[in-house]
Structure 1
Amino acid sequence: MQTAERLRFSAEEYLAWEETQAEKHEFVAGEVFAMTGARQDHVVVSLNIASSLKQRLRGTPCRAYMADLKLKVEAADAFFYPDVMVSCHPGDLANQQFISNPSLIVEVLSESTADYDRGGKFVAYRKLESLMEYLIVDIEARRVECFRRTADNDWLLHDYLGEVDCELTSLGVQIPMAEIFEDIKAD
């Protein structure tokens, strides 16, 4: 992650500035970070997951969103662009710039963001009271790590590998791993 010309903003200044930018930038505690373009496999897997979720959530109050919509994490003074997220919160339907009450967040790992997705970003995401599940998708390993919030506010890892269904209990849906990794060639 690279800082965009070492700019410092308030959250409101960032939102106004970001609307005028050609590229996407994430915002963390006053600092703005330029987002790099994703590789084809990353985009395909993100689209597979978002499409699967959209299909399974049809007729419910929940919506799946792709990487172009911001996520506001007020408790972390941050805005992120998750690869995929789902919100079932009516307040999120009314806001065109960002959502702030996701039930599910998905990050597809890339070499440049893997450590951040597992570390600092997950720390920020855990501050969202609405968040029930956080998926980390490892394309190389054909693995989905599902961190699920427990009743005690702990996070329990459910590992999905092979020919199984990835269970998303927060949404009451299952997605076959073959569907998540559809059109991705084995190495």
Structure 2
Amino acid sequence: MVALPARLFMSAAEYLDWEPTQEERHEYWDGEVVGMSGGTRNHNRISLNFSKLLDDALLDRDCDVYIADVKVQVEPGRKYFYPNVVVTCDERDDDAQIVQFPCLIIEVLSPWTEAIDRGAKFERYRQFRSLQEYVLVQVDRPKVEVFRRNNLDRWVLSEYDLEDTLLLESIEVEITISNLYRQVQFEPDNLIYDDSKSDL
């Protein structure tokens, strides 16, 4: 694999043609191509659990669930991001590469991405008129934060712990928080969630 320069710039059209040919994923920020770091096993497991729960719940609905490898067009020609999980129920989303009308975006946090997921990315995601909920999931402890757009167009935070059930209002799906953490080992106390009670 050819090493990329420390900083790589190209037009959005060039990026959209180039990026699918790469072995690794890259986001696009105002002309700059930004490589994405790898995740941990916990990060991968939580993303997989969340996407599977949503996919099963939406099986008979006109909604699509995508994980990791499908990007969202945050700002045409300027910003393209890869959420951990994204849901769209909009019939206009028919592009082969990108989601343009997400109703739900989920980011599984890591020490390397948490600041940008909470800050710069959330600021950009809020530009989506279609987006109703933005979910942040911790990997080092069982905690989920959900930002919901209310009828005043303000974002309201709700928090959930391991014993809680989360209603995702954007898609009318209930998720048991313990199921999100099935087979997840927490650090540093090595607490392992017992998935024998999970119905995933």
Which residue matches 1:156? Answer: 156
Which residue matches 2:166? Answer: 166
Deviation of 1:55 (Å): 0.5
Letter in 2 for 1:18: E
Give the structure-1-normalised TM-score: 0.94
Which residue matches 2:184? Answer: 184
Larger radius of gyration: 2
Give the structure-2-normalised TM-score: 0.88
Alpha-carbon deviations, 1:70-120, whole Å to 9, x = none? 11112682111100010001121x211111111000000011001000000
Which residue matches 2:46? Answer: 45
Which residue matches 2:10? Answer: 9
Gaps of 5+ in 2: 191-200
Relative distance call for 1:17 and 1:175 in structure 2 (3 A) is: same
Conservation of the 8 A alpha-carbon contact between 2:74 and 2:125? yes
Deviation of 1:166 (Å): 1.4
Conservation of the 8 A alpha-carbon contact between 1:28 and 1:76? no
Deviation of 1:144 (Å): 0.5
Which residue matches 2:135? Answer: 135
Conservation of the 8 A alpha-carbon contact between 1:4 and 1:34? no
Alpha-carbon deviations, 1:133-154, whole Å to 9, x = none? 0000012121100000011111
Relative distance call for 1:62 and 1:131 in structure 2 (3 A) is: same
Conservation of the 8 A alpha-carbon contact between 1:76 and 1:124? no
Which residue matches 1:103? Answer: 103
Letter in 2 for 1:184: V
Which residue matches 2:75? Answer: 74
Conservation of the 8 A alpha-carbon contact between 1:75 and 1:127? no
3-state SS of 2:27 partner: strand
Task: Check if 1:146 corresponds to 2:146.
Answer: yes
Deviation of 1:4 (Å): 5.8
Whole-Å separation in 2 of the counterparts to 1:126 and 1:76: 17
Which residue matches 1:125? Answer: 125
Letter in 2 for 1:21: Q
Task: Check if 1:61 corresponds to 2:62.
Answer: yes
Which residue matches 1:21? Answer: 22
Letter in 2 for 1:110: S
Give the RMSD, CA atoms, in angstroms: 1.4
Gaps of 5+ in 1: none
Alpha-carbon deviations, 1:154-180, whole Å to 9, x = none? 100010113111110011011001111
Whole-Å separation in 2 of the counterparts to 1:124 and 1:136: 15
Deviation of 1:9 (Å): 1.7
Runs of 4+ in 1 over 2 A off after TM superposition: none
Relative distance call for 1:4 and 1:32 in structure 2 (3 A) is: farther
Whole-Å separation in 2 of the counterparts to 1:150 and 1:75: 25
Q: Percent identity?
A: 40
Which range moved further: 67-76 or 101-110? 67-76
Whole-Å separation in 2 of the counterparts to 1:43 and 1:128: 26
Q: How many residues align?
A: 184
